[in-house]
Amino acid sequence: MKDCKTKMNPIIEHFDEKENKRFQTDLFFRLCEKVGEDDIEITTLVDDTFLLLSELSKVSEKEKLKAYYKTLALLKKKTKEKFGYIEKGSLQAEYMALGVGVGVALGAAFVTTNPAFIGIFMPIGLAVGLAIGKKKEDEAEKQEKTY
């Protein structure tokens, strides 16, 4: 979206740093820049999210906050499905969680021989998961699939 910056600046100027982080305005801005105007469904979701964000800048109600988060999550999901765009750091977090799970499973399998294995394999799985996730994230960045 070409006019994303001009639409976003008047809205987020009312937010402080904490609110910008809470409303994920940086992520939303990067996503808007990444997504083109070719897809009507994505453009509609972006406009709905802008509308909810502008309403949040005036009044912060729980219902509007829930609707904003729900719309932002749907926007991220649709852009991942249609274009394959992913959030920076999400692949690394997914593979880290998988690595921890595999490490705990391996540790549980070997716990009969020595109970310390459950504590040893977890950080090993974490490190392996982070390494794989970082590699996948770098590949996605080279393909310009991250926002």
- Other C-beta atoms closer than 10 Å to the C-beta of 102 total 17
| pLDDT attached to residue 60 | 65
pLDDT at 132 over 90: yes
Instruction: Express each pLDDT in 9-35 by its tens digit.
Output: 887 887 888 888 888 888 888 888 888
Whether this prediction's pTM lies above 0.95 is answered by: no
SS3 (DSSP) at 143: coil
Q: Report d(CA 103, CA 120) in Å as an integer.
A: 8
- 53 in Cβ contact with 24 (< 8 Å): no
The pLDDT value recorded for residue 126 is 94
Per-residue pLDDT, 111: 85
Confidence band, pLDDT 50/70/90 cuts, at residue 99: very high
pLDDT in tens, 52-90: 888 877 776 777 888 889 999 999 998 888 888 899 999
**Angle 40-19-97 (CA atoms, 0-180°, nearest 5)?**
75
